[in-house]
Every structure is written in structure tokens, then in C-alpha cells.
Amino acid sequence: MNDIKICVIGLGYVGLPLARLFSTRYPTVGFDMNQGRVDALMQGHDVTLEVSDELLQDAIEKHGFKCTTSLEDIKDCNFYVVAVPTPVDENNRPDLKPLIGASETVGKVISKGDVVVYESTVYPGVTEEECLPVVERVSGLKYNVDFFAGYSPERINPGDKQHTVEKIKKVTSGSTPEVADLVDGVYNSVLVNGTHKAPSIRVAEASKIIENSQRDVNIAFMNELAKIFNAMGIDTHDVIEAASSKWNFIKLSPGLVGGHCISVDPYYLIQKAQVYGVLPRVMTNARRLNDGMGDYVANQVIRLMNKKGVMVKDAKILILGITFKENCPDIRNTKVVDIYQTLREYTSNITVFDPWANADAVMKEYQIPIVSESRQLKICEYDVIILAVAHEAFLKMDLRVLQEEHGIIYDVKGVLPRDIVDGRL
């Protein structure tokens, strides 16, 4: 493996941390179509905050890590890793365009004997049935004769500073036993906790997609319980605390399911299952239930306002947080937007405050203006405050003043002191 030179295609939440890690052991180049992204990285800053400025600058200065948009800069690589998004379209159907585009890029630069490894989350069969034929067509090379492939699903958890990429145990696979060993060896050489070598690419693909589907189903169950217990006037979190005293109870909380993984990946398996004549009812119902939780929260808030005599029409509402999870700038598929849109039918006086989110990105993606600094807020002026994201900064805010003014505080995350909230999910 001494002659390995790696190119990571796609420098987002997954690709950049992986490329930075590889650069500590192998000559590594990061490729991305976004020139602005590449320029910012070469200046030593990652706007996703997944890689610290110190680590990134160290990779550039000490290990020769380079980011580029030029195909010429990656032609001499021999181990290509594809880490591009796999979104769904407006009808929740898998959108493979980024993956096909990346495969075309690989096809333009791959040479005989090279290996391409896919990290993007897909349904079983995509790598060999959709991606590699594109590489063959563009390159003129034959799969498993002239070039080889592997699949090692990403396990990046945005904003998680404990389970960082070097500490994640990775699943690996290869298109031949020898290539499987090579791929496994390359990943093993940079990972603290090693790898699990799957028997085939399809098994590795399937393992990734059920990781996120399982979590989606489990959270959907908790969300369904929250709806039941809220209707009964029972606090769901109290129920969960009591039940978790049993040794084998799996403790999860209800909540909004957004982001680029859990709220998206199950659709890939749902669609593929139907091709084989299987209707995945549990996953489909879980997706439907979780997708509706933003609207449910908004209506719970409206119900509380009516009970407390707070006028809904033209009410002044403050939503704390718009990223899809706490202490992270990632706004992809955030379901806080659904809370906003439902309440927007009743009032235009809604302020969204999030010190982690990029205001320009939020406006471009969702057409929602946000406030980024707390000094722009005066808590006592609002009729309603909704804690939608559990950023640490929000937990330090003094929200009791609103309670004194007879306003409503709704806690989506169940993290605020019980005595100051009027309702929680």
C-alpha cells in the first residue's frame, strides 16, 4: 500500500473529514466542483465546522493535502473515493444525479489497476448497477478486469465531536477478494477502531441504509407515543424515564427528524423494495409520521395559546434554532421549517434565532430570514417561544421573563426546566 495515492471526490460533511484523515498517511487530493468551497478550504477554513482550522491547516502544511476543481490534479491518483450527496426529489424518489456525475468524473481520470470506492448512502445494487457502468462507459475500461471497486458507507454524524471519523468503525467491501483486502487495509490503516469487512458490496450497501432506517422507525414510534400521551395529558418524557429503568428498554426521545441521512435514506430502500414486489409498510409509515411532526408541534403550540388566552392571529413568536440538530450549522432538510410555515399561516411576526446557522444559506434554501445574535432579541416582547433545537447557547438564556409576562414556552427537545414550560413534545 506504499504506492497508494488517494482522491476524495466531494468535500462536504463526509468527504472533507475523510480526505483530511487519509492525508495523514497517504498523498491525498480533495476534488470538488465548487470553486468557492475549494478556495475556502485551501485558505484553511471549513464552513461546516467538521474539520477544525488547526487540523485543516496542519493537513495542508505538513501533509501536502490539496483541494482542487481540476481533473488534471487527480489523474495520477489510483484510489478514488466518492463521497457525494444522495438526495431525494420533490416526490421523495432517489436522485442519483450527483452520484452519476461523480462516476463520470472518475471515468475521465481512472487508469488500469485503479480502485474506486463509493461512500454515498444508496440502496443495494447502485454501485454495481448504476455507477460502475458509467465509469466503464466514460473510461473505456472494463470493470473487474481493468479497474476495481469497493463500497465503504460513511458514518459521519454532523456536529459530533466524540465519534469523529478516525474513531468510527467502518464497513468495507470490494469487488474481488483481493480488492476487498486492499480496501479494508487502506481504511484500517487510518482508523482507531478498525473495520468490518462485509462479504460483498451489496451487503455493505444494505448495512448502511438499515442503520438510518432503523433509527427512523424507532424515533417514529416515540413520536407516535408522544401524540398518544399528549392527548391523554401524560408527559411523554416522564413515561420514557420510568420505562428506561428496565435493563433492556431502548431509551429514545420524540423529536423532529431532519438532516441528510435519517430523513432521506429510508426512501432509497422503500423504492427498491417495491421494485422487488415488497411493500415496506413500517418504514413508509415511519417516514410519513416523522415528516409530519413539524406541523404537529405548530398545532400543539396553537392549542396551548388558545387555552392560555393568547391571541393566535398576528402573535409575536420566537423560534429558537433552525439547524436540523444541536451545536451544528447543518440546515439540510430541517423540519423546523415546517413549524415556521404552519405558524406563518396565522402570523407574520415570527423571528427565528440561530447563532449556528448561516443566514444567507437559510434565506437561499428556505426563504426565511434569521437573527444570528441574541442582542437583537428582547424576550419579554414575544407571545410565544419555541425551543426547536437544543443549542447550548439556548440553554443559558433566561426565558423565565416570558413566563412572567404570561406568554407560552414550548420545548420541542425536552431540555428546559419543567417549571418554565407550558408544553413539550
- Complete DSSP assignment for 58-112: HHHHHH--EEES-GGGGTT-SEEEE-----B-TTS-B--HHHHHHHHHHHHH--T
Whether the full predicted model's pTM is greater than 0.85, yes or no, is: yes
The grid cell for 108 is: 475521465
pLDDT digits (tens, 9 = 90+) for 259-283: 888 889 999 999 999 999 999 999 9
Comparing 42-46, 300-304, 378-382, the range with the smallest average pLDDT is: 378-382
pLDDT of residue 1 exceeding 80, the answer is no
CA distance 151 to 187: 11
Q: Of all residues in the chain, what percent carry a pLDDT higher than 70?
A: 99
pLDDT tier for residue 409 given thresholds of 50, 70 and 90: very high
pLDDT of residue 92 exceeding 80, the answer is yes
Comparing 19-28, 56-65, 367-376, the range with the smallest average pLDDT is: 367-376
pLDDT of residue 2 exceeding 80, the answer is no
Residues 86-112, mean pLDDT to the nearest whole number: 94
Residues 120-131, mean pLDDT to the nearest whole number: 95
Mean pLDDT of the chain: 94
CA distance 192 to 210: 24
Q: Of these residues, 7, 131, 261, 328, which one is catalytic?
A: 261
Residue 405, pLDDT score: 66
> Are 409 and 416 a contacting pair, CB within 8 Å?
yes
The residue among 60, 49, 54 whose CA lies nearest residue 19 is 60
Is 77 considered catalytic here?
no
CA distance 106 to 131: 10
